[in-house]
Structure 1
């Protein structure tokens, strides 16, 4: 995860620490060449304050902070040459150009989402979902497409996944949840109207819940224990469509499915081969 993304996920920073991170993010070129003493002097902070900030960010001291700054500079350079995720093409672009630009947009969104994944958090979420008897996915609108795709993949290995569509059905499923359920909420902004009522029901039922959404979404962090983040470059309204958030959400769910599959790899392969003839009724004659 890049330093900028780590900072977005970090809560409880003091005014001094906020001042430090703002200086670091705005002066990355200079910071990568500064000593801790020089940074302290430029930000009017103590060296101990810098060490405390590093600890809060999960870094092993100032040297690792500088390594993260250098990595951010590399990512910043890539970003400057990338496509505008909100308006990736113009009225004057050819069809070939549009195809090329969307290819670059998808690559950039997936790469940014990869860098947003905390591998320890991913491991915890995968374990929860792998061990659950039933997975309930709560989402709305265009995210239903990726949710149902994940549901289909999980069903292909014999796993039970609910994907209620209506608000009424969602609340019924949440209310009936038991300890063997794990809930997954898909919301890019975390602000969709369905989220809070569902979170409150799941909280009362003490259901393990995972929120998947953009970085920097702190509204639900106090209510939900487990979070996985996707690229946050897309504007909530000022855009052509949800090109970036859609492919990012698809990617993270595919990663989750693949990690779950890997836990019982051979058993899942055997299951697919065993039931394929019962599920797939197509008349397919493969020619050698």
Structure 2
């Protein structure tokens, strides 16, 4: 994960730490050449505060910060002809060119989302969902498609997943949740109207809740403690379509399904084979 992404994933920076973070992001080429005393002088942030900032974002100290910045600069220099995820193709592009650009968009989005993955947090979320008897998904609009795809995958290994669509049904479902439930809240922006009221109901009932959305969102209710981040490149309104956010959300849910599947791998393989002829009545011999 890049320094910038590590900073975005840190939810509770102080005003002083935010000033320091902004300086580091905007002056990455300069940071590697500075001593901690020089950085302190340029940002008016004490050396001890710089060390605390490093610890908070997951780095041992200032020297490691400098090394990480150099690595990030080297990695960025390798990325050429990066795609604009909001306008990935132009009016004059041929269909063949559009096909190539969408490949690039998919690759860029998945690679970007992969950089935000914190393996420990992912493992915690997978454990919560694996342990739950029932998984309830709360989302709306185009995210309903990836939610239903995840639900279908989970059902194929005998897991119960609910995906209610109307706000009324979501409130009823959240209110009826029991301790053996776990909840997935999908909102790219973190500003969806259902997020606050539904998460409050789940919090009061003690339901383990996981939010998946763009890194850097400041609108997510604080009581949602489990968070998985996806690429934040897509603009909320100025775009051709939700190409990037859709692919990022799909990738994250596919990753979660795969990790859950892996925990009972042999059992799940056996279950899929056992129910194949029950679920699928097509006469397929190939």
Query: What TM-score does the superposition give when structure 1 sets the normalisation length?
Result: 0.95
What residue in structure 1 maps to residue 143 of structure 2? 143
Q: Encode CA deviations 1:158-210: one digit per residue, 9 max, x unaligned.
A: 00000111111111111100000000000000111111111111112111100
Stretch deviating more after TM superposition (226-235 or 59-68): 59-68
What residue in structure 2 maps to residue 187 of structure 1? 187
CA contact (8 A) 1:185 1:209 kept: yes
Runs of 4+ in 1 over 3 A off after TM superposition: 74-80
Q: How does 1:268-279 map to 2 (within 5 A)?
A: 268-279=268-279
Aligned mates of 1:215, 1:90 — CA distance in 2: 28
What residue in structure 2 maps to residue 154 of structure 1? 154
Asked whether 1:53 is paired with 2:61, we answer no
Q: How does 1:21-100 map to 2 (within 5 A)?
A: 21-77=21-77, 81-100=81-100
3-state secondary structure, aligned to 1:163: strand
Aligned mates of 2:195, 2:175 — CA distance in 1: 14
Quickly say closer, same or farther: Cα 1:218–1:75, change in 2 above 3 A: farther
Quickly say closer, same or farther: Cα 1:5–1:20, change in 2 above 3 A: same
Shift in Å, 1:90: 0.8
Stretch deviating more after TM superposition (190-199 or 11-20): 11-20
Aligned mates of 1:251, 1:11 — CA distance in 2: 23
Aligned mates of 1:17, 1:25 — CA distance in 2: 12
CA contact (8 A) 1:2 1:72 kept: yes
Query: What TM-score does the superposition give when structure 2 sets the normalisation length?
Result: 0.96
CA contact (8 A) 1:4 1:72 kept: no
What residue in structure 2 maps to residue 256 of structure 1? 256
Unaligned runs of 5+ in 1: none
Aligned mates of 1:17, 1:190 — CA distance in 2: 23
Q: How does 1:152-231 map to 2 (within 5 A)?
A: 152-231=152-231
